[in-house]
Each structure stands twice: as C-alpha cells, then as structure tokens.
C-alpha cells in the first residue's frame, strides 16, 4: 500500500524534517522521509477526508489485543499523549499518515511488529505551523 499525502502536508513535513538538526535525527525521521518519497502526493482538494492527515482525529484497533486507541495526529511540539495528541514523528504517527479508514496497517514498532485497523478518521483541526 502506498500512502496518500496532500500537497500542503508534504510541504509542512518537508519543512519540519529540514528544521531538525542532525543531532536530533531519529530512526522515525528517516522512515518518514522514505514514506514521503514513495507516497502519492495529491492536491489538497483531491484527498479523501477518510485519509489520516496532519490534524486528523482517528480511532484504530490493535488487532492482536483488540484495544481501541484514539488520537489526533500533530506536529511534535503539540504532541501530548495525555490529550491523545500523537506526534507525526512517533513510530505510530509515521505508520499511519496517508492511510485511510478501513485499512489494516502492519508496522514495526519498538514493541515489535503490530497490526492496526483504521476504524474511523475525521478531519478535526487545521495544523499550519511547525
């Protein structure tokens, strides 16, 4: 499966990655760069509201445990798990951006390979700045 990324998110993510000094570069940053290279980039008005984008709220199910998780995908400076705000530079954030409701994603996370089903996606907030 190829992630679908809207043009404004691609631009914002590219700017975010360029702003991180080499001393702050993580594995997830490299994976996000790879995902952006293989992604299908579409005009902002051509992306489905059912695709996880920056600012999307979504519910996923961990297939192995059946556990439901709800998050809003955001920039690192706004991330706060207590508020269910997930950083785009987290392993799960990188795994989910660009995929749509109903899809099952398998991804290598720090705790091992996991499968998640994207149950619901909604566009809840606009994120314009790093």
CA 67/CA 78 separation, integer angstroms? 24
Contact 52, 99 (CB under 8 A): yes
CA 125/CA 56 separation, integer angstroms? 7
Tell me what pLDDT residue 64 has: 93
Distances (CA, A) of 47 to 61, 81, 89: 23, 27, 22
Tell me what pLDDT residue 1 has: 86
29: left (phi > 0), else alpha (psi -120 to 50), else beta? alpha
Tell me what pLDDT residue 130 has: 43
* Tens of pLDDT, residue by residue, the chain (130 residues): 899 999 999 999 999 999 988 877 788 888 999 999 999 999 999 999 999 999 999 999 999 999 999 999 999 999 999 999 999 999 999 999 999 999 999 988 877 899 999 999 999 755 554 4
Write down all domains in the chain, each with its CATH number in brackets.
4-123 (3.10.50.30)
Tell me what pLDDT residue 11 has: 95
Contact 118, 95 (CB under 8 A): no
pTM value is 0.90
Residues 6+ apart with CB under 8 A from 50: 100, 101, 102, 121
């Amino acid at each position: 499966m190829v992630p679908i990324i809207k043009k404004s998110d691609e631009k914002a993510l590219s700017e975010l990655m360029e702003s991180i000094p080499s001393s702050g570069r993580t594995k997830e940053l490299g994976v996000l760069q790879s995902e952006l290279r293989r992604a299908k980039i579409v005009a902002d008005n051509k992306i489905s509201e059912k695709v996880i984008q920056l600012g999307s709220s979504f519910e996923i199910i961990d297939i192995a445990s059946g556990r439901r998780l709800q998050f809003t995908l955001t920039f690192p400076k706004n991330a706060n798990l207590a508020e269910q705000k997930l950083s785009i530079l987290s392993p799960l954030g990188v795994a989910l951006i660009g995929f749509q409701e109903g899809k099952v994603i398998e991804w290598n996370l720090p705790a091992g390979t996991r499968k998640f089903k994207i149950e619901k996606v909604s566009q809840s907030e606009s994120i314009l700045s790093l």
